[in-house]
Amino acid sequence: MTYPELHMIIDGEKIPVGHRRAHTVVNPATGAALGALPLADAADLDRALAAAQRGFRLWRDAAPQQRAAVLAGAARLLRERQEQIARIATLEEGKTLAESRIEVMMNVTLFEFYAGECHRLYGRQLVRPTGMRSTVVCEPVGPVAAFAPWNFPIGNPGRKLGAP
């Protein structure tokens, strides 16, 4: 399998390595260099945050059914591309292909679960004494930075990205 050319995507724009600083991706099983990953600078981070904030407004205002459709679509794409994604994860992590396939399918299940949870995002009222009312409203919090160990390169981001 050929390793894909790596790039960042910021605000829908593919940003290749070009003249940027880069990190060499190494296959831990063989020690062979697979490719170069471009490293973001402060300006890239500012652009990414601005794009995330714009996207958040759309996501926040989307009806639960729309969110469910997006997450179900992500699950479908992961299922369709399971083999390709698993092979890349195996090259990058040195884990077995079987384990990589399982990791992809765990995310399919996770995104399907989150899609179902979207239908339960409506606010609810809690039982309170007469004359009092308490309402629970679920709202997205906005863009966040999530730093996680990289031993599950598909699973860790999936848990962060999939939550409705």
pLDDT digits (tens, 9 = 90+) for 143-162: 887 777 777 878 888 887 88
pLDDT digits (tens, 9 = 90+) for 20-77: 999 999 999 999 999 999 999 999 999 999 999 999 999 989 998 999 999 999 999 9
CA distance 67 to 60: 9
Q: Can you read off the two tokens belonging to residue 164?
A: 């409705």
Handedness of CA 111, 141, 13, 10 (dihedral sign): negative
Structural domains of the chain in order of their starting residue, each with its CATH number:
1-61 (no CATH), 63-164 (3.40.605.10)
DSSP bridge partners of 36: 24
The model carries a pTM of 0.81
